[in-house]
């Protein structure tokens, strides 16, 4: 009978899986990234600039007021006393104001400004959704890499025990040198895997730190056992229908069409008249003049209507209208392309989450089967009907299945966020539901 000492697998893994002392939740790291990520900050600054630019268009329909002031001084000296006038001058101030009464071009420009504000809001929402997904992906990549490293370490501990057992059995003559060499080869392979896993984890943590601005960010792991919620609603057509109403890309394309239609109205305004109300008030103070010796003051107030009707502009207006109509057709095609692209992305993300949920269930069953197979193989090794390589292969299969299961869980959780991003409903509040799955 072979004498084998085996460390219980649950103790080996439990000793490795420890919760970091200063671990951060997904919401914590997302909030940190909002204030640090250069890409999001750039999008936010562009949003604020676009808001200010959109407000500039409103000036075209608002009144304008100006103040003009002037002063001059003249000195005339002559040998003839009759022409020796000395110094005299004048000072003047004019306040003028104008209010567009009928300017179709300006009205369309102001309406375009309002549309630009909505476009900027959609762009910022899209940038926020992209940040949520990028932070979540970096978060779960660190967890998946950490799991892989932990599983490799647990496998190394198990293989080391098998190697020690094979050496003892060879020394007492109950096993051949082949068992020892097979265990040694597997141990060396696991060491190489451990080095690669450590480097991968290091790189993933650097990426997360770079995104969030944290130094040594430690994501909270998912609390096991975990029940990943199913897709709700479980109907891809409802997800697609919802995307047509709220998706930022579709909104931008729709607003682009409306802006193009307003551009056509601006072009058509080239044939229409304009009417402005203009008022002014002028005060002039004269300290004499070349022909008048006395001082005097003049106050002039004026109000008038300015009417202008274009008659012919060398066919420029007609061709401008043709151009804007063609651009309208382009905007309609862009809107349809956006709808089709969003619908395809939503369906792809939906079926990806569905497939991921199925893989999680299958891998959970495979994990249980692999554990049972390993236990049976160990028992067979103890009674002499199985050899050492069979135990090593069963261990490798079990740990590989565990790593794939952990990765599949992260992919499903991340996939649910990407599904909401694909149909345009992703919000920061969605991260709270994921936070509920994490260790406290």
Q: Is the pLDDT of residue 403 over 50?
A: yes
- For 210, the token pair is 């770079």
Q: Name the band, by pLDDT with cuts 50, 70 and 90, for residue 85.
A: low
What residues does each domain of the chain span? 9-63+104-272+315-435
Q: Is the pLDDT of residue 225 over 90?
A: no
pLDDT at 303: 94
The CA distances from residue 71 to 283, 291, 299, in Å, are 12, 19, 16
- Whole-model pTM? 0.84
Give the lowest-confidence range in 9-13, 101-105, 210-214, 310-314. 9-13
User: 278 pairs with which residues across the strands?
Assistant: 98, 304
Instruction: Tell me whether residue 82 is exposed, middle or buried, using C-beta atoms within 10 angstroms of its C-beta: 0 to 12, 13 to 18, 19 or more.
Output: exposed
Average pLDDT over residues 174-202: 90
pLDDT at 82: 59
Question: Which of 216, 227, 221, 228 lies closest to 147, judged by CA?
Answer: 221
Query: What's the number of CA atoms in the CB half-sphere (13 Å) around residue 45?
Result: 7
Determine the Cα–Cα distance for residues 216 and 190; give it in Å rounded to an integer: 26
Q: Name the band, by pLDDT with cuts 50, 70 and 90, for residue 169.
A: confident
pLDDT at 86: 65
Contact status, residue 329 vs residue 261, Cβ threshold 8 Å: no
Contact status, residue 47 vs residue 124, Cβ threshold 8 Å: yes
User: 89 pairs with which residues across the strands?
Assistant: 73, 287
- For 396, the token pair is 């490798």
The matching CATH number, chosen from 1.10.3720.10, 3.40.50.1820, 1.20.1600.10, 3.40.140.10, for 9-63+104-272+315-435 is 1.20.1600.10
Contact status, residue 93 vs residue 67, Cβ threshold 8 Å: yes
Euclidean distance between the first and final Cα of the chain, in Å?
47
Contact status, residue 97 vs residue 13, Cβ threshold 8 Å: no
DSSP character for 24?
A: B
Determine the Cα–Cα distance for residues 299 and 281; give it in Å rounded to an integer: 7
Question: Which of 172, 167, 160, 163 lies closest to 1, judged by CA?
Answer: 172
Q: Is the pLDDT of residue 414 over 80?
A: yes
Q: What is the pLDDT of residues 339-396, one digit of tens each?
A: 999 999 999 999 999 999 999 999 999 999 999 999 999 898 888 788 888 888 999 9
* Residue 169 CB neighbours (<10 A): 18
* Residue 360 CB neighbours (<10 A): 19
Average pLDDT over residues 261-283: 94
The three-class DSSP label of residue 75 is strand
Q: What is the pLDDT of residues 276-332, one digit of tens each?
A: 999 999 999 887 665 666 677 889 999 999 999 999 888 999 999 999 999 999 999
Q: Is the pLDDT of residue 4 over 50?
A: no
The CA distances from residue 73 to 84, 85, 158, 165, 286, in Å, are 15, 12, 103, 113, 10
């Amino acid at each position: 009978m072979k004498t084998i000492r085996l460390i219980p697998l649950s103790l080996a893994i439990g000793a490795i899986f420890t919760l970091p002392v200063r671990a951060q939740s997904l919401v914590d790291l997302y909030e940190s990234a909002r204030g640090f990520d250069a890409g999001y900050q750039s999008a936010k600054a562009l949003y604020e600039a676009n808001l200010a630019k959109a407000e500039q268009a409103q000036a075209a329909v608002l009144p304008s007021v100006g103040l003009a002031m002037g002063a001059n001084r003249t000195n005339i000296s002559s040998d003839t006393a009759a022409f020796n006038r000395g110094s005299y001058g004048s000072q003047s101030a004019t306040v003028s104001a104008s209010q567009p009464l009928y300017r179709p071009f300006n009205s369309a420009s102001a309406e375009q400004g309002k549309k630009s504000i909505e476009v900027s809001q959609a762009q910022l929402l899209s940038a926020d959704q992209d940040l949520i997904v990028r932070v979540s992906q970096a978060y779960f990549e660190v967890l998946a890499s950490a799991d892989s490293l932990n599983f490799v370490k647990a496998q190394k501990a198990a293989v080391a025990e098998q190697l020690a057992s094979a050496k003892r059995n060879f020394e007492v003559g109950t096993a051949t040198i082949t068992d020892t060499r097979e265990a040694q080869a597997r141990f060396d392979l696991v060491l190489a895997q451990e080095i690669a896993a450590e480097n991968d984890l290091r790189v993933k943590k650097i990426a997360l730190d770079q995104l969030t601005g944290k130094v040594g960010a430690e994501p909270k792991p998912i609390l096991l056992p975990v029940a990943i919620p199913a897709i709700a609603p479980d109907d891809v057509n409802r997800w697609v229908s919802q995307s047509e109403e709220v998706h930022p890309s579709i909104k931008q394309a729709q607003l682009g069409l409306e802006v193009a239609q307003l551009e056509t109205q601006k072009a058509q305004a080239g044939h229409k008249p304009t009417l402005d109300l203009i008022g002014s008030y002028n005060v002039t103070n004269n300290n004499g003049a070349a022909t008048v010796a006395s001082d005097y003051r003049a106050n002039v107030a004026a109000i008038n209507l300015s009417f202008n009707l274009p008659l012919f502009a060398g066919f420029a207006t007609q061709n401008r209208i043709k151009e804007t109509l063609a651009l309208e057709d382009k905007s309609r095609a862009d809107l349809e392309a956006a709808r089709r692209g969003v619908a395809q992305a939503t369906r792809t993300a939906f079926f990806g989450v569905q497939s991921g949920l199925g893989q999680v269930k299958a891998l959970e069953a495979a994990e249980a089967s692999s554990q049972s197979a390993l236990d049976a193989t160990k028992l067979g090794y103890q009674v002499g009907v199985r050899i050492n390589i069979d135990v090593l292969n069963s261990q490798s299969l079990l740990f590989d299945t565990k790593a794939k299961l952990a990765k599949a869980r992260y992919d499903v959780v991340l996939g649910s966020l990407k599904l909401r991003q694909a149909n345009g409903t992703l919000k920061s509040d969605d991260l709270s539901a994921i936070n509920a799955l994490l260790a406290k």
